[in-house]
Structure 1
């Protein structure tokens, strides 16, 4: 058993220049469905053809080439982060919060690969 208990979701996040164009590409090429565009947060999300797996599109003026970050849904980000930090897992700054939407925290595996935890704030949990 790991230090944290993710819920049954995973979001694979890509940094892109134009979320709307990228969402259209994923719809046309792979048959995914856009769930929403959160323009105020620079974020779009699509449902893949696999239950519990979504694609997130974060908009950046200069996205990192080949950037892909698995985002693990978690019920209690603060507790999960504390457990990982106690195990000397490195995080990239503070936890980000988009009120009424999501809390996120990026961390790294031993090889420097970025991963992210996300707590859904839309359900009141």
Structure 2
């Protein structure tokens, strides 16, 4: 049985030099659809052809090819992080909060692969 309950969505996060240019490429080549560009956060998201899967583009000056981080949505990141830390799961620094947008935390599997948990804050009261 799983330690936490994830929602039925996943975002595949990639590092890119130019989010807008990359989004245009994914639209024209793969038929994805831009959901939004959050320029202040250096982040863009696109709807893929797969139900519940989005592509996130994080802007970096020198992205590392092959750097792909799956982002799993959770309803309560703070609770889930506490449960996982109590199970000796390693996290990379503190939880990051972009007010009114998202809360994220990066964790590692036994082989050192990065995964991210995210809580949507756009509808937070």
- TM (norm. structure 1) is 0.97
What root-mean-square deviation, in Å, do the aligned CA atoms of Structure 1 and Structure 2 show? 0.8
1:13 corresponds to which residue?
13
SS at match of 2:115: strand
Question: 1:51, CA displacement in angstroms?
Answer: 1.2
Gaps of 5+ in 1: none
CA distance in structure 2 between the partners assigned to 1:120 and 1:39 by the alignment: 18
- TM (norm. structure 2) is 0.97
Question: 1:27, CA displacement in angstroms?
Answer: 0.5
CA distance in structure 2 between the partners assigned to 1:82 and 1:64 by the alignment: 30
Aligned residues: 125
Give the ranges of 4+ consecutive aligned residues of structure 1 lying more than 3 Å apart after TM superposition.
none
Gaps of 5+ in 2: none
Question: 1:123, CA displacement in angstroms?
Answer: 1.5
SS at match of 2:82: helix
CA distance in structure 2 between the partners assigned to 1:84 and 1:28 by the alignment: 40
CA distance in structure 2 between the partners assigned to 1:7 and 1:69 by the alignment: 17
The 5 A counterparts of 1:15-30 are 15-30=15-30
Check if 1:66 corresponds to 2:66.
yes
SS at match of 2:20: helix
